[in-house]
């Protein structure tokens, strides 16, 4: 019986019918010894089928996302951040980046609460920090229809980010219309002070002179322009009674018709929106602390704002614009105002308490001492501060020429 040919390395010859063309590879013995050390190279039919199916799914997925508009968003953003993106030619404009800070901010400024000062600062800061400051030419339309809300939200949402939109408008619920809810900020002031500033500014304007303001309010009759503030309040003229006095709360309550009706429903809804949608609601009487907190919360927008606000040149220009012919109503008239504005004051004190709590968390001390409990006959002290006030009807560009008014 013929014996099997033995290989020099031991065992049966791997090529019993002769070596392949070209001869056996060198180191055959060592190659054979390594085979048992690589068991994962041995595939079963099931493993082969699994690998094939995985590769097929991957290929199909790659084809589908390319047909759907290109690579996944996170890959596009990654390539954009790395600075070597070449996908623009194939996929059009890049998606907006997800910024590491709030990139959508809305300042739905309350009239006569210092917003002209803040908007001036924002114009300076937008040039300094490069964010998109979006303003509006509409100054006296705060209540919107459903279609107007949808159109405004669409216009705001499509603005280049990071943006800060500012306008006199009651709170808008972006999520109701399918938009991303932005970060809200605002500032309010003592309700009686705000009312008096509005009352006299509408009639007599500021340092530019009474004649100038008469041109801006030609429809106001002379008897109305010179109407004594006490008579307006005590005789219950429309301008000095509800719903005209119910002014601040709707900016936080929203566009619902009940938000314009003085009562608990609007008050509680306004508080809820402050807690859920507003990053900060400041108090004008403590404007420097408001700016300091804004600088800490939104540094990409407000970094350096306090130093700009404290600049002597800005202070000097601000002191030139003071509402003229302001007078203080009698204690009786002020008491009546307070009673008519009780919901406004409840909201004001709620916001003030929240603001002071926030200040304490950041180690800031309030400039005013803790007020005692208010008696039933509490009378607010109007005109005790000299903070800037706002004119919601004045054109922004014209206002820039006059800097800002107190």
- Chunk the chain into consecutive blocks of 10 residues (it has 406) and report each block's average pLDDT, rounded to whole numbers: 51 52 49 49 70 78 59 48 45 53 94 90 95 91 96 95 97 94 97 92 65 64 90 96 96 97 98 97 96 95 94 69 72 96 98 96 69 42 39 39 34
CA 179 vs CA 77, 161, 259: distances in Å: 21, 14, 22
- Residues 385 and 381: their CA atoms lie apart, in Å, by 9
In a domain, 24, yes or no: no
In a domain, 25, yes or no: no
In a domain, 83, yes or no: no
Two structure tokens written together for 42: 């041995």
pLDDT score recorded for residue 48: 72
In a domain, 127, yes or no: yes
**Residue 395 three-state SS:** coil
Q: What DSSP string describes 287-356?
A: HHHHHHHHHHH-HHHHTTHHHHHT-HHHHHHHHT----S--PPPHHHHHHHHHHTHHHHHHHHHHHHHHH
Choosing from 91, 129, 139, 168, which is the catalytic residue? 168
In a domain, 370, yes or no: no
- Residues 322 and 324: their CA atoms lie apart, in Å, by 6
CATH of the domain at 328: 3.40.50.300
Q: Count of alpha carbons within 13 Å of 126, Cβ hemisphere only? A: 19
Residues β-bridged to residue 6? 12
Whether the Cβ atoms of residue 263 and residue 250 lie closer than 8 Å to each other = no
Q: Is 28 left (phi over 0), alpha (psi -120 to 50) or beta?
A: alpha
Known catalytic residue: 367?
A: no
Structurally, the chain folds into a number of domains equal to: 1
**Residue 204 three-state SS:** helix
Which stretches of 70-169 are assigned E, i.e. beta strand?
104-107, 132-134, 163-166
**Omega prior to 243 cis, within 30 of 0:** yes
pLDDT score recorded for residue 55: 81
In a domain, 80, yes or no: no
pLDDT score recorded for residue 372: 40
pLDDT score recorded for residue 57: 76
pLDDT score recorded for residue 250: 98
Domain that holds residue 293: 104-365
Query: Does pTM surpass 0.85?
Result: no
Place of tokens 């039933």: 376
Which stretches of 154-203 are assigned E, i.e. beta strand?
163-166, 183-188
In a domain, 72, yes or no: no
In a domain, 346, yes or no: yes
């Amino acid at each position: 019986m013929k014996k099997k040919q033995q290989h020099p390395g031991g065992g049966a010859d791997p090529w019993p019918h002769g070596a392949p063309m070209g001869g056996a590879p060198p180191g055959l013995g060592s190659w054979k010894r390594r085979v048992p050390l690589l068991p994962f190279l041995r595939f079963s039919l099931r493993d082969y089928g699994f690998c094939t199916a995985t590769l097929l799914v991957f290929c199909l997925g790659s084809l589908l996302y390319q047909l759907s508009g290109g690579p996944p968003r996170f890959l596009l953003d990654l390539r954009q951040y790395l600075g070597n993106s070449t996908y623009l030619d194939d996929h059009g404009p890049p998606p907006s980046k997800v910024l590491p800070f709030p990139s959508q901010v809305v300042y739905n400024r309350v009239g006569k609460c210092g917003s002209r000062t803040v908007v001036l600062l924002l114009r300076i800061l937008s040039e300094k920090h490069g964010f998109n400051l979006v303003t509006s030419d509409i100054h006296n339309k705060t209540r919107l229809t459903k279609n107007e809300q949808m159109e405004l939200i669409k216009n705001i949402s499509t603005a280049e980010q990071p943006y800060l939109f500012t306008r006199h408008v009651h709170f808008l619920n972006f999520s109701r219309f399918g938009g991303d809810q932005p970060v809200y900020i605002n500032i309010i002031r003592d309700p009686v002070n705000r009312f008096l500033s509005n009352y006299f500014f509408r009639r007599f304007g500021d340092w530019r002179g009474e004649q100038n303001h008469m041109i801006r309010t030609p429809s106001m009759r002379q008897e109305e322009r010179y109407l004594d503030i006490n008579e307006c309040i005590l005789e219950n003229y429309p301008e000095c009674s509800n719903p005209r006095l119910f002014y601040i709360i709707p900016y936080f309550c929203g566009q619902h018709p009940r938000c314009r009706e003085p009562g608990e429903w609007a008050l509680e809804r306004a508080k809820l929106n402050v807690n859920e949608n507003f990053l900060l609601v400041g108090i004008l009487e403590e404007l420097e602390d408001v700016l300091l907190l804004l600088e800490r919360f939104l540094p990409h927008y407000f970094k350096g704002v306090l130093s700009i606000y404290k600049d002597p040149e800005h202070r000097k220009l601000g002191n030139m614009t003071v509402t003229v012919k302001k007078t203080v109503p009698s204690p009786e008239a002020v008491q009546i105002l307070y009673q008519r504005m009780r919901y406004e004051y409840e909201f004001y004190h709620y916001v003030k308490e929240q603001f002071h709590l926030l200040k304490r968390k950041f180690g800031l001390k309030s400039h005013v001492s803790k007020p005692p409990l208010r008696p039933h006959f509490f009378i607010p002290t109007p005109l005790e501060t000299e903070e800037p006030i706002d004119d919601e009807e004045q054109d922004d560009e014209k206002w820039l020429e006059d800097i800002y008014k107190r």
